[in-house]
Amino acid sequence: MKALESNTIFKLKNASFAYPFEEPVLKNISFSISKGEMVSVLGANGCGKSTLLKIFAGLLCPQEGVFNAFGNNITEELLLEDKFSKQYHQKIGFIFQDSDVQLFCSTAEEEIAFGLLQLGISEAEVKERICDVINLLNIEHLKDKPPFKLSGGEKKKVAIAAVLAMNPEILILDEPTNGLDPRTQRWLAELLTSLGSAGKTLITSTHNLELVQEISKRAILFNEIHTIAADLPTEKLLSDSKLLLSVNLVDEYYHRHEGSKHSHFHIHNY
């Protein structure tokens, strides 16, 4: 894998993607993401956010256009090379929308160890990292539990622990707050903010507009015709309710309450 010449880690140029026998879910997408950025990907359901994240995670490859990651033009053949694939996935941590598909080992501890063992890390270091990440997320009590006996929030915590243990440079999160209670959502926002401040690159796809302003400084908005409607600083994008309305992300009742330190969106049903 080539060394980074600039700070750019991902670059898409006129990229398009369509699933077999279906209409394109991404059309002519061009933008880049630099190291340490905190980016949110917004858009209505089915606009192509998850597909975009899967391209960044090296799970899909655009059929048209160029996808450059870490200075390499990514092709399907390149991703199928074991050595390249391992190096690529070591740099990227992907948190799936559905934690059930991400938790496939017998216990939470084995789940956290899975990625580390795949990377060939020594047994002593694996155990040390497991211990550290368990303490970081405060999930000691979940260590020996099988994943399907965990609640939604606990599953998300174990999934995050499994990814953080691999110490990825980039964290990609697909709808991370889906199905989480408010307390766990708060915990997650704080964790992501800390990781972002520590220099990790964060790319999050979400519908949760409250979360967006906390965990990102830049927001990329998709419209329903699968192209980019806007790529703006988060504050500016969230202030433009007409723009959000035009892509069907919010309705006409949606508005923002500005405060001295905190602002939020909500609905008045009258």
Partner 1 sequence: MKTKHSQNPKQKTNIPLWMLKGNGQYANIQKQTNFLIKTVKELSSIMQNEILSEKFVKSKGYLQMINPLIKLLTLLVFILICSLTKSLITLILLGFITVSLAKLSALNLKDYFKRIWIILPLLVFVFSIPASTSLFSKGVPLFYIYKGLNLNIAGISLPTELYISFSGLIMILKMSLRIGVSVSFAYLLIMTTRWSSITHAFSVLRVPPLIVTIFNMTYRYIFILSKIAAEMMEARFLRTVGSTGGKSNRSFMASRMSILFIKANFLSDEIYNAMRCRGFCGEGVSLYKFKIGKADLLWIANNILILIVLFLGELLT
Give me the residues that bind partner 1 (CB under 8 A), please: 54, 57-59, 82, 85-86, 89-90, 92-94, 96, 98, 100-102, 104-107, 109-110, 113-115, 117-119, 123, 126, 146, 148-149, 162-163, 166, 269-270
> Minimum CB separation from partner 1 for residue 229, in Å?
25
Q: How many CA atoms lie within 13 A of 62 on its CB side?
A: 24
Looking at residue 237, the DSSP 8-state letter turns out to be H
- Of residues 95 and 238, the one with the C-beta less far from partner 1: 95
Q: Which is nearer to partner 1, 119 or 191 (CB)?
A: 119
CB of 261 to partner 1, least distance (A): 32
Calculate the dihedral angle through the C-alpha atoms of 63, 69, 71, 73, rounding to the nearest 10 degrees: -20
- Contact in structure between 205 and 128 (CB atoms under 8 Å): no
CA atoms within 13 A on the CB side of 236: 9
Q: How far is the CB of 169 from partner 1 (least distance, A)?
A: 14
Which residue number, 101 or 198, has a Cβ lying nearer to partner 1?
A: 101
Which residue, 37 or 109, is less far from partner 1 as judged by CB?
Answer: 109
Q: With contact defined as beta carbons under 8 Å apart, do 42 and 211 qualify? A: no
Q: Least distance in Å: CB of 62 to partner 1?
A: 16
Q: What is the DSSP string of 86-108?
A: HHHHHHEEEE-SSHHHH--SSSH
Q: What is the DSSP string of 137-199?
A: HT-GGGTTS-GGGS-HHHHHHHHHHHHHTT--SEEEEESTTTT--HHHHHHHHHHHHHHHHTT
What amino acid occupies position 224? Answer: E
Class of residue 260 by CB neighbours under 10 A (exposed 0-12, middle 13-18, buried 19+): exposed
Nearer to partner 1, 5 or 82 (CB): 82
Nearest distance from C-beta of residue 121 to partner 1, angstroms: 10
How far apart are CB 143 and partner 1 at their closest, in Å?
12
Instruction: Give the residue with the Cβ less far from partner 1, 119 or 230.
Output: 119
Is the sign of the CA dihedral 80, 85, 88, 92 positive or negative? Answer: positive
Beta carbon nearer to partner 1, 94 or 222: 94
- Rounded to a whole number of angstroms, the minimum distance from the CB of residue 110 to partner 1 is 5
